[in-house]
Chain A
Amino acid sequence: MTSTTTQSGLARARRGLAPGGPGGGGSPSTTNRKSRLSAQTTRTFFWLLIPSVVLLVLIHGYPLVYAGVQATHDGNLIQTGNFVGADNFATVLSSPAFWKAAQFTLWFTIVGVFGSWLVGLGLALLLRTKIPAGGTFKVLLLLPWVVPIVVSSTAWNWLVATPDSLIPSLFRNLGLGTPLFLADPTLAALMVMVFKVWVSFPFMMMMISAALASVDTTVYEAASMDGATRFQQFSQITLPLIARSTYISWILMTIFCVNDFPTIYLLTGGGPVDATTSLVVLAYRTVFQDFATGPGVAIAFLMTLTLVVVSVLLYRQIRKSSVE
Chain B
Amino acid sequence: MSAKPSIASSAFSRRGFLGFAAAAASAPLLAACGGGSATQGGGGGAGGTVKFWDMPWATPAYNDAAKKIVEGFSGANSSKASYQLIQWNNFYQTFSSAVASKTGPAVSTGGGFQAFQFEQQGQIAYADKVVDELKKNGQFDDFLPGVLEPFKTDKGYVAVPWQLDIRPLWYRKSLFEKAGVDVPKDWATLLEAGKAMKNIGAVGFATGSGAGNNIGNHLMIMMMLNNGGGVFTTDGQLDVMNDRNVEAVEFLLELVSNGVIDPAAVSYTTDNLNAQWKDKKAAYGMLTLGVPERVGDTSGDIVVASPIAGPHGDKAALIFPNNIMMYTNTPSQEASEAFLVYYLGQIKELWRQKLMNALPVFKSITELPEFKQDPNNVKIVKEYQPIGKTFAAQGNTLSADLAVLDGGQALNQLTQTILTGKTDAKSALQAFESGLRSTIKK
Contacts and interface: CB of A to CB of B under 8 A. Distances in A.
Interface of A: 10, 13-17, 22-23, 60, 62-64, 66-67, 70, 76-79, 97, 154, 157, 161-164, 180, 182-183, 185, 188, 210-211, 214-216, 219, 222-223, 237, 241-245, 248, 251-252, 255, 258-259, 261, 265-269, 271-274, 279-280, 283-293, 296-297, 299-301, 303-304, 307-308, 311-312, 315, 318-319, 322
A214 B7 CA distance: 8
Judged by DSSP, the binding face of B is helix
Contacts of A299: 32
A299 B428 CA distance: 26
Nearest to A237: B3
Contacts of B24: 252, 255, 259, 307
A255 B3 contact: no
Given A16-B5, A216-B2, A219-B3, 13 more contacts: A10-B1, A63-B30, A63-B33, A97-B409, A157-B271, A164-B279, A180-B264, A222-B1, A241-B3, A251-B21, A290-B439, A297-B32, A322-B9
Contact of A15 (B9, B28, B100, B410): B9
Contacts of B10: 15-17, 22-23
A268 to B, nearest CB: 6
Contact of B4 (A13, A271, A304): A13
Given A77-B97, A288-B93, A280 B28 contact: yes
B233 interface: no
B268 interface: yes
Contact of B404 (A66, A244, A290): A290
Place the interface of chain B in its size category: 35 or more
15 contacts: A13-B4, A17-B10, A60-B22, A67-B29, A77-B100, A78-B96, A183-B267, A214-B7, A252-B24, A255-B27, A280-B31, A296-B32, A303-B25, A307-B21, A322-B9
A16 B272 contact: no
Return the 8 tightest CB-CB contacts between A and B, nearest first.
A269-B211, A182-B267, A63-B35, A307-B25, A300-B32, A77-B96, A211-B6, A311-B21
Judged by DSSP, the binding face of A is helix
Contact of B6 (A62, A97, A244, A274): A244
* Residue in B14, B29, B268 with the greatest tally of chain A CB atoms within 10 Å: B29
Contacts of B31: 261, 280, 283-284, 300
Interface of B: 1-10, 12, 14, 17-18, 21-35, 90, 92-93, 96-97, 99-100, 117-118, 121, 123, 209-213, 262-269, 271-272, 275-276, 279, 281, 403-404, 407-410, 412-413, 416-417, 419-420, 422, 439
